[in-house]
Structure 1
């Protein structure tokens, strides 16, 4: 989905006084890239009733690009022209979303009515909705059912994408803290013994305990021994003569190194017995974090250096699905790595000295993880052995040295893997990378792609 509107206020404030041709043109890039697919979509018979909408969008994008180029070449920016340009970008962004919705509706109609001709016409157009996991799964299921002896290259590519995404999700789970579940709820008297042996990140580093109070109700308390925030999940298979104080299943955020009362089960009938069967789980990070979308991240390297992108957003290898918004920078082993944003170090591993292009090396990745003020996490992976320059609990400022790049873990060559993540609010069990804005000497980057070159500011 195009998110041009999110850029507008920041661009007006920071770039108006010092215009950059690269930035003004970049604002319209996502819309410009969509025109090839929408031009092809406008030629499909099933879209005939909506052809005027598609043609108007294409004409408007072309006209807006002309204005963007004029702004880029202007020595002095006209406020009224700039405001109108930004307004047009917002309008086009909303129109693009409407076109995606029309495409989804037409595709659903073709599948529901088993209209194979329209189905083939639509899936031949590389529109963004085809990469939505639910829509993609429906397309693949229809294809497998109705085309047992006929191969369609575009859907074979989607199938490969789905398989790769599933692998990357598994990779994310293993690399960025797997979801721990079905843990035993302790009695309060057992907590102190578990705390003595608990390690950061281990299954028992988040403890849920329960005791009966004087009223005969059960009070549940959660304690997070980790330095980072976790999202806790509590559910009950059985509740006999008990009523929960909150909606079940319960999902709650527990800040690092803290404890809090999270739930109470109250007795319904005083004359009847009570019983419950329960389980809980947790994942590192917050599903309730709201990313500060206007924040400008620093490229995590020394000022003035030039870096290239080997894999950007929705990359060919592993940046798919929930891991789509990550950037790989191929840099020599030992390259200094700096914090892209201020925060508190909540994860650090630098003891490993193994790396290779095989899943067996996943467990050997060295990394630094920084929790930001909005609850998101900055992830810096594949550091060299001994390449961690910070410690857990340490506060770091934007631009502080945090480590040195390497080639550890599941990697085909020396590089730094950088992403910003939170817990996926749909599954509540997986990390989800977020799109960010990065400040470079060439302007604000919102869509890093393979081959891009940037100079660090």
Structure 2
């Protein structure tokens, strides 16, 4: 069912209104769902020092819900009262964020102190922070270490979810070639020949070469032939009579079309032979990028058009784990797509005319990927055949036409999949989506959800 009118993204306190009628009490539904867990949390001994904050939220929630019901029952809602209601929802959203932060810190403290009673109390309450991949991984690691012979159903469910996610990520990495690994280190004399045949984005477009030094060691140089930044990882299976100048494994960022000395192996004992066995890998993008959270992205469609959301953040279908912060917009094949943010094109594929439902179709997606000034990537997927209009290396302005939507790749119907990502700083190889702010005519959107409807500014 299509929803119109006023939308509230309660978790982040973003609200915007249109003139169409709507049941006002439905605006508070996300907060109301959270209040059930917060009520349980307020009864836990570990929350006793902060009980006043939790009770204050719950009491105000009750009052605000009553106000929303009165507005919904009224034939002509008073503007002043409606604005007061929306302001209450904003403040409740901010308080909810504070409670989430408190919950996360309490969980961290319980695990650091190996306080199993507090840990069990906290994880029995399903608040939003438990959905975060990093927190979930830490909780599972603590559970596996401290509960070898005891099962907690809620964490077992988290373990199953993480296992499923890791399998899907593995398939995605293999099929989308998001990470190139087990590459052979070249001799410096081999580099020029490789560069003659290397193409942008190919396995050998990022080169690591080694050259013997006069003192019996080795010097390593990395060269990135691509127009975009990559994150390189270097590891050694064997180091015999050699000492590394840096920490192993080594993770390093290589800017586009640049080369740098990255590592040196020094001979330890001059009288003994040396040997090493190593390989390297790389991922497109920077694991060290810091997203400009204040940046407001354009909705990637024509100004004045109206778009719906078929799957938003933490969507039930495919937006999970590291892919949680993505938005699917159902639009007809051939809908013009515009850059949500300025940058440089680092990925462009438009040759496929094949799609379907399932991971095996991922490799057939057409796309445009744009690297932003802060090192993050804007990803526009499922474009039609011939629908990627921009070439790798082209500078793109915000709002510039970059392609046409389609139904290629792993897709259940014509739509645009949009996300902003960086390389995950833990694995240093897989992409990790980031939450962003989107500008609509109605206001700034920070938590797009299924059923939402926006007018493009």
Q: Normalising by structure 1, what TM-score?
A: 0.80
Q: Indicate if the aligned counterparts of 2:11 and 2:93 stay in contact, CA closer than 8 A.
A: no
Matched residue pairs, number? 427
Deviation at 1:216, TM superposition (A): 3.5
Is the partner of 1:361 in helix, strand or coil?
helix
String of CA shifts for 1:320-339, please: whole Å, max 9, x gaps: 11111111111111111110
Deviation at 1:413, TM superposition (A): 0.8
Is the partner of 1:199 in helix, strand or coil?
coil
Deviation at 1:38, TM superposition (A): 0.4
Superposition pairs for residues 197-216 of structure 1, below 5 Å?
197-216=197-216
Deviation at 1:255, TM superposition (A): 1.3
**The 10-residue stretch of structure 1 (421-430 or 250-259) with the greater mean CA deviation from structure 2:** 250-259
Q: Indicate if the aligned counterparts of 2:241 and 2:272 stay in contact, CA closer than 8 A.
A: yes
Structure 1 gap ranges (5+): 12-18
Please point out which of 105, 108, 127 is paired with 1:101.
105
What's 1:194 paired with? 194
Is the partner of 1:40 in helix, strand or coil?
helix
* Cα distance in 2 for residues equivalent to 1:188 and 1:239: 20
Deviation at 1:265, TM superposition (A): 1.8
Deviation at 1:224, TM superposition (A): 1.2
Q: CA RMSD in A?
A: 4.0
String of CA shifts for 1:370-418, please: whole Å, max 9, x gaps: 0111111100000000111111111110010100000001111111110
**2:137 is the alignment partner of 1:134:** yes
Is the partner of 1:384 in helix, strand or coil?
strand
* Cα distance in 2 for residues equivalent to 1:408 and 1:236: 40
Change (3 A) 1:52 1:91: closer
Change (3 A) 1:163 1:235: closer
Q: Indicate if the aligned counterparts of 2:216 and 2:270 stay in contact, CA closer than 8 A.
A: no
* Cα distance in 1 for residues equivalent to 2:53 and 2:349: 53
* Cα distance in 2 for residues equivalent to 1:244 and 1:139: 33
* Cα distance in 1 for residues equivalent to 2:147 and 2:385: 47
* Cα distance in 2 for residues equivalent to 1:60 and 1:124: 24
Structure 2 gap ranges (5+): 1-9, 19-26, 68-77
* Cα distance in 1 for residues equivalent to 2:369 and 2:158: 32
Change (3 A) 1:63 1:374: farther
String of CA shifts for 1:303-342, please: whole Å, max 9, x gaps: 0111111111111011111111111111111111110000
Q: Normalising by structure 2, what TM-score?
A: 0.80
Superposition pairs for residues 232-381 of structure 1, below 5 Å?
232-381=232-381
* Cα distance in 2 for residues equivalent to 1:439 and 1:64: 27
Is the partner of 1:317 in helix, strand or coil?
coil
**The 10-residue stretch of structure 1 (165-174 or 48-57) with the greater mean CA deviation from structure 2:** 48-57
What's 2:173 paired with? 173
What's 2:407 paired with? 407
